[in-house]
Chain A
């Protein structure tokens, strides 16, 4: 490609190779996907803009594919697309989470790759991706590597992406069984999560998978709670006792590591996790003490 294109402040990448070449030339460039996080910073003047590589129109990052029990999502798949019939039938909790993001305008622009790149503790797709043990394919001009999500997101807005690298796709297993994502915020639309919770079932393995969002530096798998519920559910009848539900909710709340901030107190967040975890479980299993 012509070198002049890369030297311009904004490179609108036409292909994955084009983007990777631009990032090789300028590894510190801002990677711009949907813009819904980056542009907020830019508009505030809190993110200096020197070089930008816009990846929103790279064909290789669009769309999804199914390979056996795995779903591969291009990093450029938007929240609106994840709410569509096809993706929501394979990973319902991801569609539910996408539905809670911002507004239609934001969901039309924001992408799953961008949610991962920002690595905010409040990222709405992250709990479900953690529970699914998603695997990221990360590419640079020199090669490709795969990284499990819990090794990718390492702290508050910190991830393992190196200069010159791009998230290419996100792979998740397609599980058999109902899923629920719940989120707490001051209203229904345009809300940044105060606490969120995802509960997935794997009926073939008689197991649940779960994850807490926004109540720690990174999403938290409440493993003790997961084990308790997996063992406590009557999988044949899809039933669970009130006692198990209570214990599950308490263990989920115990696993939270919330902080006080302008969106909510730590105590409120822990309480919210207790409510959300019980609510999600009750939506999936019928409460039955007989």
Chain B
């Protein structure tokens, strides 16, 4: 234990983390200390991707980030993808495609797909499958998730919905 505090920048705002244990993961700190429960905790070993967040320009598993080492970086969680009460284009596409079943993998997938579309507005099927290969979904069989990615990609390219 330490009485020192450190500061994490989450979704554009600084948050102080005090009285923490050195080994706390970013996932745990986000969920249990800072009130960001969107990133989900399942495997805690980087296998499932349900805890995906963006740090700077890269998506990583927040369970594998030591929270105290993530200072002075821009951390974006699912809560930061859209203004409160609004849906992002990817979230809306998930609803439109029916890509949510139990919902546990959804936040991680949304963060990953948002990042993919930031970097590539016109990803082909293989690129999408590769991009989401670290996000496990045990309900949908991925078909509707892949469909949702293409809906969101089309809307980002400014194409009208059919």
Show the binding face of A for B, using Cβ within 8 Å: 8-10, 12, 32, 34-36, 38-40, 42-44, 47, 49-52, 54, 56, 80, 102-106, 108-109, 188-190
Contact = CB atoms under 8 A, between A and B. Distances in A.
Interface of B: 2, 4, 6, 21-23, 25, 44-47, 49, 52, 58-61, 63-66, 68-69, 71-72, 112, 130-131, 133-135
A101 to B, nearest CB: 11
Given A12-B69, A43-B44, A104-B133, A109 B60 contact: yes
Contact of B2 (A9, A35, A40, A104): A9
Contact of A103 (B44, B58, B63, B133): B133
A30 to B, nearest CB: 9
A40 B25 CA distance: 10
B10 to A, nearest CB: 17
29 contacts: A8-B2, A9-B68, A10-B22, A10-B69, A35-B66, A35-B69, A39-B25, A39-B46, A39-B64, A40-B45, A40-B46, A40-B64, A42-B25, A43-B45, A44-B44, A49-B21, A52-B22, A54-B66, A54-B68, A102-B134, A104-B59, A104-B131, A105-B49, A105-B134, A106-B61, A106-B134, A108-B58, A109-B64, A188-B133
A43 B59 contact: no
A49 B24 CA distance: 9
Given A40-B45, A104-B130, 10 more contacts: A9-B22, A10-B66, A32-B66, A35-B65, A38-B66, A39-B66, A43-B45, A44-B45, A51-B22, A109-B65
Nearest to A42: B23
B21 A105 contact: no
Contact of B71 (A12, A80, A102): A12
**Most chain B C-beta atoms within 10 Å of own C-beta, residue among A36, A103, A106, A189:** A103
Given A35-B65, A108-B59, A109-B61, A189 B134 contact: yes
Contact of A43 (B6, B25, B68, B134): B25
A44 B43 CA distance: 10
A32 B71 CA distance: 14
B63 A43 contact: yes
B121 to A, nearest CB: 18
Nearest to A39: B64
A60 to B, nearest CB: 17
B4 A8 contact: yes
A104 to B, nearest CB: 5
**Most chain A C-beta atoms within 10 Å of own C-beta, residue among B6, B59, B65:** B65
A49 B25 CA distance: 12
Contact of B64 (A36, A54, A104, A188): A36
A34 B64 CA distance: 8
Given A103-B49, A105-B60, A105-B61, A10 B134 contact: no
A104 B134 contact: yes
A43 B45 CA distance: 8
Given A32-B66, A43-B63, A190-B134, A49 B23 contact: yes
Nearest to A78: B58
User: Which 4 residue pairs across A and B have the least CB separation, nearest first?
Assistant: A103-B134, A49-B23, A9-B22, A10-B68
Contact of B69 (A32, A40, A102, A106): A32
A188 B126 CA distance: 13
A62 to B, nearest CB: 13
Contacts of A12: 68-69, 71-72
A42 B21 CA distance: 12
A106 B46 CA distance: 7
Contacts of A51: 22
Nearest to A53: B69
Contact of A35 (B52, B64, B134): B64
Contacts of B130: 104
